[in-house]
Amino acid sequence: MATGSEAGKPAEVVLEWPKQDKKRMLHAVYRVGDLDRTIKCYTECFGMKLLRKRDVPEEKYTNAFLGFGPEDSNFALELTYNYGVDKYDIGAGFGHFAIAHEDVYKLAETIKSSSCCKITREPGPVKGGSTVIAFAPDPDGYMFELIQRGPTPEPLCQVMLRVGELDRSIMFYEKALGMKLLRKKDVPQYKYTIAMMGYAEEDKTTVLELTYNYGVTEYNKGNAYAQVLTRFFLHYFLFRFWHFLS
């Protein structure tokens, strides 16, 4: 709905907003138990940059924003440290973040040589395919998938979530947030289906990977993973995953 100065504009002008707006996912928000430890992992192991950091003593928390480029053009991770809280329950609804890299084997060696991260799935082709992947958890247990891919403007390329009803979730992202269903794949031999949702193609921006595991309709959401911020129709909308994962 138009407000303020836009309210007096002709309807045809207002309706042009969605066409002119550059919708994208801005950042993911989640909680960590040791902020400096996590920053060290993301910068030294994954190659991210610390974009900004702010302490809010009156509310007893500190934020740090990390990513592979400026926040006005790239997806970022917003880490929140709450004073005195050193552990969270990640839950089962959150799956992983994904980082695209031109040489996953080399990146895995960098991670293995560090003191802050480790590789839990060695680099190699994905089951039933040829794409080279690896997995590395951060110090709090958030999983990162490393995907071998050519040059991309957005290396922080995916956020994977598990959902209890795939078609309902697809409709939510399409109707409420204006995303597109980029592709959908059923893998019956492993009893799951995935849907990739986003505002542009997978090699151009950060996308959501929704995973439905056959017969699983509910997940423990934990208290660590909070929300994603998206830019949509010239406004900022916060949406919380527990609204549709239940």
Residue 145 is labelled as binding a ligand: yes
Residue 96 is labelled as binding a ligand: yes
Sign of the C-alpha dihedral, residues 237, 15, 18, 194? Answer: positive
233 neighbors 199 (Cβ within 8 angstroms): no
Token representation of residue 31: 């909680």
DSSP 74-126: S-EEEEEEETT-------SSEEEEEEEES-HHHHHHHHHTSSS---SEEEEEP
Is residue 145 part of the annotated active site? The answer reads yes
- Pick the catalytic residue from 16, 59, 145, 165: 145
Q: Which helix (H) or strand (E) holds 67?
A: strand 61-67
Fill in the amino acid letter for 22. Answer: K
Token representation of residue 114: 């560090």
Beta strand extents in 117-214 (DSSP E only): 121-125, 132-137, 143-148, 156-162, 180-187, 192-198, 207-213
Strand 225-232 with 207-213, pairing: unpaired
Sign of the C-alpha dihedral, residues 179, 92, 187, 217? Answer: negative
Considering only the C-alpha atoms of the chain, give the largest distance between any 2 of them, rounded to a whole number of Å: 61
Report how far residue 217's alpha carbon sits from residue 219's, in angstroms, rounded to the nearest whole number.
Answer: 7
Binding site per annotation, positions: 78, 96, 145
Binding site listing for Zn(2+)? 78, 96, 145
User: Would you please indicate which residues are annotated as catalytic (active-site) residues?
Assistant: 145
